[in-house]
């Protein structure tokens, strides 16, 4: 029976949502229970679904480890393959639709952060560029080795599973690069081989959205987040350190001890249904008038290639390949000699053999090329005006060949605190001599040596 305090809180939450500028949805395992998904936490829940594991005495925490794909790949893929199919065939409950409609009506937008790997936010229609999956996604694949940073989707392979013995009896998914056994791109326990490239791109989008709603009225709706692994809880609590932010904790076990969060002692669907009923008509009209986002590939929202066999694979190049084409979604994690760790994201590399066919450029060409680079950054990168390191002159007295043949335009971010911020990023354009043996790190070191990171990044604080 719902307690009186929860019933009194429902109208308040409906009013907060109707007046909010932005909506942050955070979801733990309890979010999927109303869809009919099992909660594997604890031995009994897992063993009820997979009796062979009860005989072996293997818990969820013990099974959800990458070493099983090497030691017993048929058992590992029976477990993960069965869960993949379960998540694909289970329809997300109606609460997902409500959250999507409310988010679309927010003037400053919305974002969903989840520890679940089921892909149900995507299946419910939330665009991939508005989702942060803290533990990855069971429907994406990667190599168990891993031999490369490739992450892909395989919607062709269908596993045959013998549930009596918990063994996959058909051919197992394999890495298209090296032929090794593949595994889900899901963060497991004691996982040293998980590839975080997709999560990094998602984290970057989330951080920038969070920066954009600073100083606005933000409502955080948290669903089914436990305390054993408190990733989701910590995210909401951190954001509530800002002013004008309210955390609503929806959990059957919520208590007054959760304050200053607003505790709602209900399941996700029960709470959302009651909140929906209490929303004012003006907000309902806003929801009705909101324009749906452009539909996207539901699971893998990054840049992908489709192969003749139907697989989708992330575009992962070596440095030499990168130098021959433009790349918009690639990141390198680098520790500079200063000790600062930075991400180089959204890199544009362009060879500039201009003038070779039509004569050398004049003295004003460096400004023209810089303006072109600025326009590229304005069109493709997030944030204010880029920092530009002009071309170096080969000969200040000559009008010929004043620009080296390679341009880098990149977005560089760091979690090094600036002031009261949590990190910073800058858009940086610089020019350098091409050198196929030179690493991306060397280029970044060279560029950042010419700017004062903390001064130039001022105003980019997250």
In order of start, what are the domains of the chain with their CATH numbers? 4-289 (3.40.50.1220), 319-456 (no CATH)
Paired residues of 142 in beta bridges: 151, 183
**Which of 332-341, 345-354, 415-424 has the lowest average pLDDT?**
345-354
Paired residues of 344 in beta bridges: 332, 412
**Which of 46-55, 75-84, 259-268, 270-279 has the lowest average pLDDT?**
46-55
Report residue 372 as tokens.
Answer: 């072109």
The tally of CA atoms less than 13 A away on the side-chain side of residue 404 is: 16
Q: Cα(223)–Cα(245) distance, rounded to whole angstroms?
A: 17
**Which of 24-38, 139-153, 252-266, 329-343 has the lowest average pLDDT?**
329-343
Report pLDDT digits (tens) over 169-202: 999 999 877 889 999 999 999 899 999 888 888 8
Question: Smallest Cα–Cα separation from 355: which of 401, 399, 388?
Answer: 401
Q: Cα(154)–Cα(171) distance, rounded to whole angstroms?
A: 13
Beta-strand pair 110-114/131-133 = parallel
Helices 281-289 and 4-19 cross at an angle (nearest 10°) of 50
Q: Cα(327)–Cα(212) distance, rounded to whole angstroms?
A: 25
Report residue 348 as tokens.
Answer: 């544009």
Q: In the prediction, which pLDDT does 210 show?
A: 93
- For the chain, the average pLDDT equals 78
Distance of CA 287 to CAs 94, 99, 219, 290, 325, Å? 15, 10, 16, 5, 42
Question: Smallest Cα–Cα separation from 380: which of 303, 297, 459, 293?
Answer: 303
**Which of 10-14, 15-19, 91-95, 337-341 has the lowest average pLDDT?**
337-341
Strands (E), 125-270: 131-133, 136-143, 151-153, 161-162, 167-168, 182-186, 218-223, 245-250, 262-264
As a whole number, mean pLDDT of residues 234-243 equals 91
Q: In the prediction, which pLDDT does 431 show?
A: 76
Model confidence at 275: pLDDT above 80: yes
Tell me which of 439 and 443 has the higher pLDDT.
443
Question: Smallest Cα–Cα separation from 89: which of 158, 143, 135, 174?
Answer: 158
Model confidence at 283: pLDDT above 60: yes
Asked whether the beta carbons of 148 and 177 are under 8 A apart, the reply is yes
């Amino acid at each position: 029976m719902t307690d009186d305090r929860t019933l009194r809180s429902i109208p308040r939450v409906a009013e907060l949502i109707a007046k909010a500028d932005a909506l942050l949805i955070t979801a733990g395992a309890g979010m999927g229970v109303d869809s009919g998904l099992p909660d594997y936490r604890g031995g009994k829940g897992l063993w009820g679904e997979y009796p062979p594991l009860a005989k072996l005495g293997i818990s969820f925490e013990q099974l959800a480890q990458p070493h099983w794909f090497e030691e017993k790949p048929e058992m590992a893929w029976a477990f993960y393959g069965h869960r993949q199919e379960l998540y694909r065939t289970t329809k997300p409950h109606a609460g997902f639709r409500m959250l999507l409609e409310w988010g679309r009506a927010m003037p400053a937008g919305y974002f969903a952060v989840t520890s679940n790997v089921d892909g149900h936010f995507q299946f419910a229609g939330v665009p991939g560029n508005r989702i942060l999956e803290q533990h990855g996604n069971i429907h994406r694949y990667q190599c168990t080795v891993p031999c490369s940073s490739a992450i892909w989707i395989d919607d062709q392979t269908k596993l045959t599973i013998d549930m009596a013995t918990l063994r996959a009896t058909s051919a197992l998914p394999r890495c298209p690069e090296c032929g090794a056994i593949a595994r889900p791109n899901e963060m497991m326990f004691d996982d040293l081989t998980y590839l975080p490239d997709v999560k990094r791109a998602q984290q970057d989008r989330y951080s920038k959205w969070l920066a954009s709603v600073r100083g606005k009225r933000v409502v955080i709706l948290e669903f089914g987040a436990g305390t054993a692994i408190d990733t989701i809880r910590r995210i909401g609590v951190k954001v509530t350190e800002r002013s004008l932010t309210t955390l609503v904790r929806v959990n059957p076990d919520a208590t007054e001890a959760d304050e200053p969060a607003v505790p709602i002692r209900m399941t996700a669907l029960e709470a959302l249904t009651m909140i929906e009923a209490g929303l004012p008509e003006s907000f309902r009209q806003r929801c009705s008038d909101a324009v749906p986002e452009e539909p996207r590939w539901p699971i893998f929202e990054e840049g992908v290639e489709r192969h003749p066999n139907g697989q989708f694979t992330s575009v992962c190049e070596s440095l030499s390949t990168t130098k021959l084409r433009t790349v918009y979604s690639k990141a390198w994690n680098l520790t500079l000699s200063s000790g600062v760790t930075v991400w180089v994201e959204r890199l544009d590399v362009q060879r500039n053999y201009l003038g070779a066919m039509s004569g050398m450029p004049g003295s004003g060409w460096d400004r023209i090329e810089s303006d072109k680079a600025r326009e590229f950054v304005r069109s493709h990168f997030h944030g204010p005006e880029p920092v530009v390191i002009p071309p170096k002159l080969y000969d200040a007295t000559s009008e010929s060949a004043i620009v080296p043949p390679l341009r880098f335009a990149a977005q560089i971010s760091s979690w090094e605190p600036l002031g009261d911020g949590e990190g910073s990023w800058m858009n940086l354009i610089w020019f350098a001599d091409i050198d196929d043996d030179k690493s991306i790190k060397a280029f970044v070191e060279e560029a950042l040596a010419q700017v004062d990171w903390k001064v130039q990044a001022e105003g980019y604080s997250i």
